[in-house]
A and B are shown apart, each in its own frame.
Chain A
Amino acid sequence: MYLKSLNPASSVLKKDEQKPPINTQQTAKMDKHKIIYNKKAESEFFVDNSALAGFTGERILYMAVRELIENALDSCELFSILPSIKISLKTFDQSNDLWVLDCEDNGTGISSDKLPVAVCSFLTSAKYMEKQQRGLFGVGLKMVAAFSTKDTDFPIKVWSKSMEESDEYYYELRTDIGTNKPIVLLKKQVNKSESHIDGPSGFRIRVVLRARLVPITKNKIYDYVTQTSIVNPYAFITFETDDGMFSFDRRTSIMPTPAKEILPHPSDMDLQTLKKAISKHSGQKITLPKILCYSFQKLSYEKAKEIISNSDLDFDLKDTKISFSEHDLIKIVNICKKTKFQNPNTDHLSPIGQGILTIGMMSEYTIVSNKNIETTSSDNNKRDAMMVNEAKKLNHDKEDKNFSKTETSNIGASKPNFSVRVLQPVLTAYTSRTGIINNRPTIIETGLAYGGDINSFKLYRFANKIPLLYDEGSDVAREVVSEVEINKLGITKKQAKEQFSTNKESKRDRVIEVLPIHIFFHICSTKIPYKTAGKESIASEGELKSYMKSCLSELYRKLSTQIRKELKLKEAENKMKLYKHYLPFIVGAITDSLGIKNSNLDDSFSSLIEKHLTKKPPTGVGDDDNVVNNSEPPHSGFVPKSSLSLSNKAVDLEKKKKLTISKNFKDIGDKSIKNTELNKTLSNSSSNSNASFVVSDKPKEKERRHKNDKKIKNSKKN
């Protein structure tokens, strides 16, 4: 392989060498045919090929917000700092499409000497290692800086207070795109009085960018922040835009275990990694087997010796001063490819975890807009319009109540109203799998939130905690959702359509989409099988799809008890409703036959029947309640022990009340029966699938909701 790749290259070179003697006399022609080899600065390359990093026309602001938030989160998680991120994106100069983007975090900060390079020089990163992180390449932040430099004449303003230096520094920077070097316009130490960073450490950047913000991109930015908040419920995020201030509360103080850097796995070995390993240990007097054993995981000294002896190398194993040729080393690589090793460990991965994802799902902070709903209703065809109207009605009901108790200044504003709503589902479930995909250990986490404030279907996709917002249609998660049969939920397609669909005429092919479910897929790996360079959809690589399907099936099974219960209630309710429709027939027949109109008949009849029907409820719900309330405390029955203790620690006091103190004993009672059964089955379930089931009670009091609903304050005073 090595030789093959060399050959064509050398032949090209030869051709070039032969050219000059042939054309010596015709210098002009020679110049024309001469191929000039230039080295391009990394910065210039990335600016020219910005699409490689996702920075394309309309997506510039989206990508910039995304990169800054991801850097902020990575920086905090590295040292388990609870993230507080303040990000702001506002119009700066409307006529020139200028925006000012400001992001402040309380992470580790960057030490003053490294800062200019870290901000401006491409391919400079502290993250080049084998572990799960959001950013990997040292491109994102630099791209933001380069775009600012390229499109505007404003400096990039940076404040940083790093962990090692306790002083805050202020920089004004620009990128020298031609050389990939920072231009420091200003550097100064900031006095405490002028400090821009409150905490012990942190990083703040303010850039001016030139970009158009189309509504679709704006929604994507909002979605991005929303979804980031769901999988990072331990982060406090404020997001200020021209639409106002959105605030995403911290719902837990527990953070996922940070990913650890690990050694590469021997089955992933190639010439390059091997050479790197050897050169790293070159000064030390250690033998080759030792080097292998130190440089790769799951490789004991014995095994290393065995591999080397299998590769027919002719030298003394104890010699520490051998220089190896590539031809020797490739033999080792080849043997490693054929040898079976233990599965790689997953210390370098940092899944969200059951506790944290559950907290995120139980109170989903979501940016909602009224206008959004209205425009979609006019754009969509009639069939969908009905559904949307239904949703609109629902929203209005809730919004109206908000208005009455919160500020009224926004009523009547022609601008769309955006606000943060906290969606609290009736039930959440979580399950995960670990497997090897793309040669790398991969953790697949799935979650499901059902009912309550959730009134429609939505699929959430995350890769290494980064929300994937584009290309949902081609993502493997889409296929998984289509392929897992709905009957795992314990109901038939027909029942789902009839009882849960807001619009019976809707001809959506995927029945699951009529249910009020949010499904979450999170894939952690150091090598996510992305479908495209844009990194927005995941391909169905290896067993990934089957793992995801088995996860989703398990979630469906967990939901089935709840769904079936609701189905029964709905059916009973519908039957109850029916009498109302039969009453006119009865009354009509009587008045028609008698030829006399008795105006009392209708009223008397309906009150009589209603009295009668409510006296005898269709199900024995009442009895069940008593049994449960007497025998068990309201919540211990339905939260598995592990996650209960978790949430005690995790949820700060006020939230804890909200989540666990039962205001509605009736609801909880019903759930707890089912969930105790479920816990039993869960404890029996296999150890590799780690699963849990949490039911939150939906606070009935409106007050609570108002508190959580953050209304927009219009930032512009006039």
Chain B
Amino acid sequence: MSSEKKNEVILIIKKIMKKISEDVVIQKQMPILDLPKIGYDNTVWSNEKRMLTIGDKKIEVSPDSVKKIPTFAQYLVMANAVKKLLDEDMESTIRGMYYATLSNVGDEKNKQKFWNNQDNSDDAIKAVELLTGIPREEFSVTSKPKGMISGPIKLRVGGDIIDCNLGSRSTSQLIPTNIGDVQIEDVKADFVMVVEKDTVLSNIRKSGFIQKYNAILMTGSGEPDRATRIMVKKLNESWNKPVVVFADADPWGLGIALRYKIGSESLSYDSDRLVTPNAQVLGMMFSDIYEYNIPEVARLTATDEDINRANDMKKKPWLQDKKWQKELNLFLNKKEKCELDAFFKHGFKYLAETYLPQKLRQIGLI
């Protein structure tokens, strides 16, 4: 990461600290940290951007009540820890930050933990992002890599080139999470195909799909991390590669597919950096269960949670077109769901050699 960026972050943190100190010592007033509220009640669908964006709601974190003092302290401690990390020119995962700031508060009688669990410290890291206006990857706080990529693309990480096409029949590359240090060097593929799970990705890769259709295969291994989403967006918007997404035919899978396309509530403040509105969610459709004759034994019964989620989704502005409404109604009628892996029932090559090409042909991608 560039030293300018680093210095910028340090400067912002110092400014925040200085402001608090002045408020207290000179102005004798309660310091207040102003943050946008994060969560579903402050997430707004933007028709124009075709993605979820953050609303106007703000929260004020100030040590003016017994309840808020711990939060205020947590934010400042985390900000200071970030500054230290940058001072030392190191990198850390979010778990690393949790451990670096772990401590006990209180005396023998009233002991409690500074963080109840890592979720607390993750929230504090988000707060530092919001306070500084800089995503955490840019101040070297990353998460464990879990996204994978395979196909004709070259990445430059630090000083080294990673050619993801090498051995792309048998292996994939982890998508580095320190995206500040990652650049896309060259892309030779015609399109990008994102699948929900790494097991499915391995199957498709092994079949020679990449070579046959000149495609880049990617997966977020479930819920995609930021690095994966950013990579998808860059390939689509900077390299003009069409992106198609395949996930399981259930409300959960559809949700994951939509992370790429419209973003998420918890990261709505960062949608501009993470969301690929042009991505196309191609499958697996609920109707595919029946069109491709998935045997009954490979179908799963929808849970109550699934039904609730689907009913919820039906009302979402981004799922209003007829095609999706039809699909969701079908699901609510049949109450059956299905995983991409279910195609293996038709043979191990069926998914890569029959289903996917048919779907891609429908939209004229191949």
Contacts and interface: CB of A to CB of B under 8 A. Distances in A.
Contacts of A589: 17, 73, 76-77, 79-80
B313 interface: no
Interface in A588-646: 588-590, 592-594, 598, 600-601, 604-605, 608-609, 612-613, 616, 618
A570 to B, nearest CB: 10
A616 B29 CA distance: 16
A593 B69 contact: no
B208 interface: no
A613 B62 CA distance: 12
Nearest to B107: A581
A262 interface: no
Given A585-B77, A589-B17, A618-B66, A578 B28 contact: no
A315 interface: no
B26 to A, nearest CB: 9
A594 B20 CA distance: 11
A582 B70 contact: yes
Nearest to B20: A590
B83 A581 contact: no
Nearest to A607: B28
A608 B30 contact: yes
Interface in B40-87: 63-67, 69-70, 72-73, 76-77, 79-80, 83-84
Given A582-B70, A582-B73, A609 B21 contact: no
Interface stretch (B108-116, B248-256, B342-350): B108-116
Interface string A515-552: 00000000000000000000000000000000000000
B28 A608 contact: yes
B159 interface: no
Given A601-B24, A604-B28, A608-B30, A578 B17 contact: no
B80 A574 contact: no
The interface centre, meaning the residue of A581, A588, A600, A616 with most chain B CB atoms within 10 A of its CB, is A581
A576 interface: yes
B11 to A, nearest CB: 11
Interface string A562-574: 0000000000101
A578 B68 CA distance: 11
B13 interface: yes
A586 B114 CA distance: 12
Given A579-B66, A593-B17, A618-B66, A586 B72 contact: yes
B30 A612 contact: yes
A508 interface: no
A622 to B, nearest CB: 18
Residue among B20, B28, B30, B84 having the largest count of chain A Cβ atoms under 10 Å: B20
A677 to B, nearest CB: 29
A504 interface: yes
Most buried by B among A572, A590, A609: A590
Contacts, number: 92
Most buried by A among B70, B84, B103: B70
A582 B30 CA distance: 15
A321 interface: no
Contacts of B79: 589, 593
Contacts of B14: 593-594
Interface SS of chain A: helix
B25 interface: yes
A415 interface: no
A636 B73 CA distance: 48
Interface residues of B, number: 35
B309 interface: no
Contact of A578 (B13, B25, B80, B106): B106
B144 interface: no
B5 interface: no
B24 A605 contact: yes
Contacts of A612: 30, 64
A648 B112 CA distance: 50
A518 to B, nearest CB: 24
B105 interface: yes
Interface centre among B66, B83, B110 (most CB of A within 10 A): B66
Given A585-B77, A586-B72, A593-B14, A578 B21 contact: no
A405 interface: no
Nearest to A502: B109
Nearest to B13: A593
B65 to A, nearest CB: 8
Given A589-B77, A601-B24, A578 B110 contact: yes
A29 interface: no
Nearest to A596: B21
Contact of A590 (B21, B66, B114): B21
Contact of B63 (A504, A572, A579, A581): A579
A593 B14 CA distance: 6
Interface in B105-151: 105-110, 112, 114
Contacts of B73: 582-583, 585-586, 589
Contacts of B65: 613, 616
A590 B13 CA distance: 10
Contact of B69 (A582, A590, A618): A582
A578 B69 contact: yes
Given A575-B66, A586-B72, A586-B76, A581 B24 contact: no
A598 to B, nearest CB: 6
A609 B63 contact: yes
B111 to A, nearest CB: 8
B169 to A, nearest CB: 51
Contacts of A572: 66
A192 interface: no
A616 B66 CA distance: 11
B70 A592 contact: no
Contact of A586 (B28, B63, B107): B63
Given A574-B110, A604-B24, A590 B76 contact: yes
B188 interface: no
A14 interface: no
A600 B26 CA distance: 10
B112 A578 contact: yes
Interface of A: 504, 572, 574-579, 581-583, 585-586, 588-590, 592-594, 598, 600-601, 604-605, 608-609, 612-613, 616, 618
3 tightest CB-CB pairs across the interface, nearest first?
Answer: A589-B76, A589-B80, A582-B73
18 contacts: A575-B67, A579-B66, A579-B69, A581-B105, A581-B107, A581-B110, A582-B69, A582-B105, A586-B63, A586-B72, A586-B73, A586-B76, A592-B80, A593-B13, A601-B21, A604-B28, A613-B66, A618-B66
Interface of B: 13-14, 17-18, 20-21, 24-25, 28-30, 63-67, 69-70, 72-73, 76-77, 79-80, 83-84, 103, 105-110, 112, 114
Given A575-B66, A582-B69, A588-B77, 10 more contacts: A579-B69, A582-B70, A582-B105, A589-B73, A594-B14, A601-B21, A601-B25, A604-B24, A604-B28, A613-B64
